[in-house]
Structure 1
């Protein structure tokens, strides 16, 4: 099977945090062109699952597969095909929008010449020279979306991607997600908000105190 057409999947996946069980027996399969939306209360493990899928932490049980391979067998290759959007947008106050997006291309090894085009796609084409300290929360999130596009990754892992986005920003997000899927990309997103996106659903039940932070 072509590496670009590999599914992401696991069976009997388990996660522990701080010595406590977060979830176990988790099974899913996401094929190219498909999205998986993960829901559940605070503390159910949505963010923990995304970190597992990114290869940032190891599962307590089970194996996460890309095709037939364990993602832990080649973490460098897995990072190259994965783009992770977390809660924090990591905006430096003195760096401009251009600086942030150009750095994203350096880290991903992609073409910096596409920065103006991508900035325009996420509604920041007129703000390339604006420093991070002058960006609104929604504009900072759009920078994060620009980084996502510039990574040119097959797998998008999104943690509450609608955070700080207004109605126009959320519509933009959904369009970007649909375009990624249409190109054969894979998406796993955790969210408390509904996304107008055809997707599988995976609901996690809380296994720890509802006050536990994710």
Structure 2
């Protein structure tokens, strides 16, 4: 018997400058499922992730989490998700460790040895105490993704998480994905690159684009 969906996207549409960017996007995701949002730049991949993270409202449609409308308990939904945008969103004057401490306090998480564990697992043990302004783009991406080790979020929403990662970094990210999915988590991510993971569902957003004719 198939698992009941945890996340249901029902006929979502978004409008920008009096133009419909996409419409009728409907998807159901159950525990342990992963979906890649694909398409060219400008088709709305980031916008859809922002809608899922409740950073932007859809023009039409609704989203359900655990069977309930997200709008009925937005804060309960937000407690279950981790959103990482295309930009790392880090304070460059702070070190990687200090950024994770700041993030932990922001989310009311205990500041403990879990932070060092997260940085070590992200391959940052050798540079976790230097200012982020001195790190490479790939290292900054690793710091941002290390946040996923801090929070016990069920739903990961990741905008272009492969950006600036080298082959080793992508392999480590895939290992993170496998672990999260194996624990019943859900992942929605955007990327132009394909992952070497089994069972990745694809959402080609151009199929939901409004006709320009």
For normalisation by structure 1, the TM-score amounts to 0.90
Write out per-residue CA displacement over residues 82-128 of structure 1, whole angstroms, 9 at most, x where no aligned residue: 11111111222220111011112112222321001111100012222
Asked whether the equivalents of residues 22 and 210 of structure 2 are also in contact (C-alpha less than 8 Å), the reply is: no
Secondary structure at 2:115's aligned position in 1?
A: helix
Look up the match of 2:39: 40
Q: Residue in 1 aligned with 2:183? A: 183
Residues in 1 aligned to 2:196 and 2:106: alpha-carbon distance in whole angstroms? 31
Q: What per-residue deviation string (whole Å, max 9, x for no partner) do you get for residues 134-190 of structure 1?
A: 111111000001112212211100111100101100111111111111111110011
**Mean CA deviation greater in 134-143 or 84-93:** 84-93
Report deviation, 1:10. Answer: 1.8
Give SS of 2:105's match.
helix
Equivalent residues of 1:158, 1:188 under 8 A apart = yes
Q: Structure 2 CA distance, aligned partners of 1:115 and 1:194?
A: 30
Aligned to 2:200: 199
User: What is residue 212 of structure 1 aligned with on the other side?
Assistant: none
- 2:16 corresponds in structure 1 to 17
Deviates more, 1:63-72 or 1:106-115: 106-115
Q: Is 2:4 the counterpart of 1:8?
A: no
Which runs of no fewer than 5 residues in structure 1 stay unpaired? Answer: 210-214
Separation in structure 1 between the aligned mates of residue 17 and residue 157 of structure 2, nearest angstrom: 23
TM-score, length-scaled by structure 2 = 0.91
Give the corresponding residue for 1:150.
150
Provide runs of 4+ in structure 1 moved above 4 Å.
none
TM superposition shift of 1:57: 1.2
Q: Which residue of 1 aligns with 2:74?
A: 75
Distance, in Å, in 1 between the alignment partners of 2:17 and 2:102 is 34
Number of residue pairs matched by the alignment: 205
8 Å CA contact retained: 1:155, 1:185: yes
User: How large is the RMSD of aligned CA atoms in angstroms?
Assistant: 1.7
Q: Secondary structure at the match of 1:126?
A: coil
After TM superposition, the structure 1 = structure 2 runs for residues 90-109 of structure 1, keeping only pairs within 5 Å, are 90-109=89-108
Q: 1:160 — aligned with what?
A: 160
Instruction: Give me the whole-angstrom Cα distance separating, in 1, the residues matched to 2:93 and 2:42.
Output: 35
Equivalent residue of 1:184, what SS? coil
* Counterpart contact for 1:102–1:112, Cα < 8 Å: yes
Mark the runs of 5 or more structure 2 residues left unpaired by the alignment.
none
Asked whether the 8 Å contact 1:14–1:60 carries over to 2, the reply is yes
